[in-house]
Amino acid sequence: MKIVILAGGLGSRLSEETDLKPKPMIEIGEKPILWHIMKIYSHYGFNDFIICLGYKAYVIKEYFANYFIHSSDVTIDLSKNKVEVLGSKAEPWKVTLIDTGISTMTGGRIKRIQKHIGNETFMLTYGDGIMDVDLKKLLEFHKNKGSYATVTATQPYARFGALDLDNNHNVLSFHEKPSGDGVWVNGGFFVLEPEIFNYIKDDASVWERESLERLSEEKKL
């Protein structure tokens, strides 16, 4: 099964980092966010990736082009221009890198890789989010529901501690960053059928708006 990762956005909210690299290449524990996301999928046996590139696409292309040599022990004979690989720690990944444009919206990026998907079920996620999700159960749930699209949902914690006050402004109780107010939000991990491409018009289409809203209205989400 193919895994599509959206990795072409500008990442403007982290401009101090993304002036030099795309957001998915920001490192956590000396590895890019993108690498961590791919490891999640690989843990469940999914190793065929399609990465939708855009902003500073060359950074991601160079990373994977050099990944094998950077992950291997090698002997380099400069006089013979020969490299001998002594042992490799490379991942069992097949990575297809597709330039989907600088200003293309999320739906448009998905539409642009349609020919690489064919008529198969596939998974989709964003290149800047990590989540503890059981992908096997997600796929099983999707198949049982028979929908065109399945999305993970989560209830985020509040950003701030919450106070309960009485009429005299005394603090009755304090809750440090309680769970959300009952609202479920997009967790960012999808299982999709190829029919979803019919819900995307062009490069200007926003996946999270027109496409998902229409799928929801038609009870296909």
Which CATH number characterizes residue 59's domain?
Answer: 3.90.550.10
Q: Is the pLDDT of residue 175 over 70?
A: no
Q: Is the pLDDT of residue 14 over 80?
A: no
Return the higher-pLDDT residue of 12 and 204: 204
pTM of the full predicted structure? 0.87
How many structural domains is the chain composed of?
A: 1
Q: Average pLDDT of 91-104?
A: 96
Q: Average pLDDT of 103-126?
A: 97
- Residue 103 belongs to what domain range? 2-217
Task: Give the percent of the chain with pLDDT over 70.
Answer: 90
Burial annotation 124-162 (CB, 10 A radius, 16+ → b, else e): bbbbbeeeebebeebbeebeeeebbbbbbeeeeeeeeee
